[in-house]
């Protein structure tokens, strides 16, 4: 009998620990997003702006579809405000392994080219997922949360990563789907006008 009592107590203890663990995992996520706990800059909201054929994939030589994004300080910016600079517009997600592997090369681009802007548009993830990712990889270029996914949809970024190389006049020079390395990025930056 004492042995059976021991197993009963042990079973209850294990059940209680399991329920405690289950309750901890099923709690409500924190409502305060990680926006800037390091050198990164994360836009808190964004949206595609009207204009152009909404159902056509942007092609080489055409104007890049415009979008706006709002920073934590409340300032709003648009892609079109970057005219005069070469832009790498990268669509990514934290769960995307190839996205993760090319982020350091995108970050390195900032230190090599003073006339190039890198922007990372996240595909439908929350702010609290972006901050830790940016900190882990040391990303300092603007990361844009796009919960609705309308920017990625307009740019036909179904596969990740997808990157658009945009000339300083705002036209698309290249659309690249798949992971890039530093050499690929450098070669195509040199071709931008």
| pLDDT tens per residue across span 77-94 | 999 999 999 999 999 999
Task: Give dist(CA 193, CA 185) in Å, integer.
Answer: 14
Domains of the chain with bracketed CATH: 42-191 (3.40.30.10)
Tell me how crowded residue 193 is: count the other CB atoms within 10 A of its CB: 8
What is the biggest distance separating any 2 CA atoms in the chain, rounded to whole angstroms?
A: 85
Mean pLDDT calculated for residue range 170-192:
96
What letters, b where the CB count within 10 A reaches 16 and e where it falls short, cover 95-116? ebeebbebbebbbebeeebeeb
At 32, is the secondary structure helix, strand, or coil? coil
Structure tokens at 141: 């270029």
- Tokens of residue 187, six digits: 């070669």
Q: Is residue 105's pLDDT more than 50?
A: yes
* C-beta of residue 123 within 8 angstroms of C-beta of residue 91: yes
Note the pTM of the prediction, 2 decimals. Answer: 0.78
């Amino acid at each position: 009998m004492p042995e059976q009592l021991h197993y009963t107590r042990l079973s209850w203890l294990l059940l209680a620990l399991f329920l405690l663990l289950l309750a901890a995992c099923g709690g409500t996520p924190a409502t305060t997003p990680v926006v800037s706990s390091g050198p990164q800059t994360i836009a808190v909201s964004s949206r595609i702006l009207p204009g152009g054929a909404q159902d056509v994939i942007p092609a080489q030589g055409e104007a890049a579809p415009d979008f706006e994004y709002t920073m934590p300080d409340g300032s709003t910016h648009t892609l079109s405000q970057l005219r005069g600079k070469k832009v790498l517009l990268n669509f990514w997600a934290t769960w995307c392994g190839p996205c993760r592997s090319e982020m350091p090369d995108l970050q390195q681009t900032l230190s090599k080219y003073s006339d190039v802007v890198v922007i990372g548009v996240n595909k439908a993830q929350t702010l609290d997922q972006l901050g830790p990712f940016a900190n882990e990889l040391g990303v300092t270029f603007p990361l844009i949360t796009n919960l609705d996914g309308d920017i990625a949809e307009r740019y036909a970024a179904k596969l990740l990563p997808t990157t658009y190389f945009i000339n300083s006049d705002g036209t698309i020079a290249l659309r690249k789907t798949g992971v890039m390395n530093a050499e690929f990025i450098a070669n195509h930056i040199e071709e931008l006008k």
